[in-house]
Structure formats: structure tokens, C-alpha cells
Amino acid sequence: MAGRARKPKAEMVDPRNQMDLFGAPAPAATNAPTPLRPRPPAEPAPADLDDSALLARLPDAGLSKALPLIAEVGRRRLAGAVPLLGVRLKRLAGYGLTGREPVAVLEALAAIGGPQATAIVAGLLGGGVLAGPVQVAALAAAVRLEVALDRKVLLRLLGTDDAAARAAACRCVRQAEFPVIDALEKLRADPDRTVAAGAVCALGRLGRPTVRADLAQLVTAAPTRETVAALASVMDHVGVDGDGLVALRRAARHADLRDAVLEALDGFDDAQATAMAAKLRQQAADHVAAA
């Protein structure tokens, strides 16, 4: 019996050489990595933006991006930023005015200035919803903007539990109203030395004679432009005295205070003060000539 003929063995075909329906070879399998998406270009820094672009980015910026924008509009003193900063404050007020952003906004408003910035700061302090660093920042802005605070608002701030706010509130006093004067007299005995010194300076700016000796001591021990101006105001109201002139002469040894002292001395209608001013100017001229 004849054996069956063997079928030819099927030839193995490499699938890489198979043809598709159109005769093209099948694509080779690869393990190539997926290409990375290109990073979006970095946003320009606030300092590199023009004024219009800077203002356009301010309203919707998140906290991390808003802080440098706010600082930049303050640095440039862009009046067009004031209403935008006011809107941000209103928005923040809904969540409680805390953190870095309201402080940055208040600093920018103080730097820019103008009636609208003044009104925003005055309204914020009058609302009575501030505390901590934000309240201190608002009071510092009020000092720079020369905000005329309502008497009730000022008395409330002078009596706050926050020592830093009490000290800042002292610097906001601009009118000699007796309830405010009484509050300042009490603060002269405040356990916080900064508050006590602030109360003395405020009373000095109002020309109250009760603080003349205290101011002379402050100017002698730790002179600043504020203490020099307060002592000058008292002396202008109640008369020039020897202790005050000695304190001013010592303060003039500080180069950064010499102009403030000379301005004070020039304002007095007093022969001793006039002679002291002339001597200080001569000493300054001799120092320059010898340098």
C-alpha cells in the first residue's frame, strides 16, 4: 500500500515582513518613549511688564502671583491700581482680613497715595474688623496718608489690646480733642515702652506742655525725626527752653537728623536758637572743608 504523500512543511514567515492589504510592510514594533510635552514659556516677571500689562494681571492673580504684582504697582505708584487693590480688599474681607495679601495691599496703597487710597484705608479702619498685623499695617498706611480718623475710631484703636496697634494709633492723632488727649495721657504710663513713647510724641505734636521734659529725654536718649519734630512742636507752643536746646544740639550730632534739627531751630523766634543754628551750619561746613 502506497504511503500518503507528505505535505510540504509550511514556511515560517517573520511577521515583520508581512505585507498589509496594500502591499506595504507592517510597521516595526518599537519601544520608543512618548515625547515629552514642551513646557509653556515662563511668564514675565512683574518688573518686566509695562503698566497696562501689570494692571491687567492684577485682578485675577492668585496669592503667590498677586504678592509680587501688588509690590510692583506700589513701587511704581500706579494710581490706576488703587481701585483694583480696593476690590481685592473687599474680596478678602469676605474670608477675613488675615495673612500677607491684605498687608501687601495696604503697603501699596500707602505708597501710591491719593484721595481714593486715603478713603479706602479710612473706611477699613472705621469698619472695626481688623486685628493683628493687618490692623497695624492699616494704621501705618493711615500715618503715611495722613488720614483724619474719626474720634470714636481713634479712641477705640488707642484702647486696643494690641500694643503695636496702640503705638501706631498714637501716630494717627492729629487733632487736640480732649477725649483723645485724656487717652494719650493715660498711655504715657503704658507698660509697653513703644506705646508710652508714642503717646508722648503725640501729645508733643499737639503742643501739650506736660510732655516737654519727657520729650527732651527721648531726644537725648534715642533721637528720631519723630521725637525731634514733637519736641520742636512743644517748644514752638510754650517757648524755647535750655533743656530742649541742649537735646536738639545733641540730636544734631546724628548726620541724618541735622536737617530736622536745623529746620526746628529756624522756626523758633529766639536768639539762642538762631545762634545755635548758625553754629551747627558752620560746624558742618568746616567738616566738609576738612574732608
Residues 6+ apart with CB under 8 A from 170: 158, 184, 187, 195, 198, 199, 201, 202
- Beta-bridge partner residues of 204: none
Residue 21 domain-assigned (yes or no): no
The arithmetic mean of pLDDT across residues 262-291, rounded, is 88
Q: Using an 8 Å Cβ cutoff, are 244 and 276 in contact?
A: no
Query: Do 181 and 227 fall within a single domain?
Result: no
287 vs 107, more confident: 107
Residues 186 and 200 in one domain: yes
- State mean pLDDT over 137-157: 90
pLDDT at residue 1 in the model:
46
- Do 133 and 70 fall into the same domain? yes
**Cell 503705638 found at:** 167
Q: What domain count does the chain have?
A: 3
Average pLDDT, the chain: 85
Stronger pLDDT, 23 or 254, i.e. the higher one: 254
Please, how many CA atoms are within 13 Å of residue 56, restricted to the half-sphere of its CB? 5
Residues 198 and 180 in one domain: yes
**What digits encode the pLDDT tens for the residues 153-202?**
999 999 999 999 999 999 999 888 889 999 999 999 999 999 999 999 99
Looking at residues 20-42, what average pLDDT do you find? 59
pLDDT at 131: 81
Task: Tell me the residue range of the domain where 191 lies.
Answer: 154-206
Confidence of residue 19 (pLDDT cuts 50, 70, 90): very low
Say yes or no: 137 and 199 in one domain.
Answer: no
| Percent of the chain scoring above 70 in pLDDT | 85
Query: Tens digit of pLDDT for each residue in 218-260?
Result: 999 989 999 999 999 999 998 999 999 999 999 999 999 999 9
Beta bridge partners of 86: none
Do both 178 and 167 map to the same domain?
yes
Return the higher-pLDDT residue of 131 and 186.
186
**Residue 41 confidence (pLDDT) above 70:** no
Q: CA-to-CA distance for 123 and 127, rounded, in angstroms?
A: 6
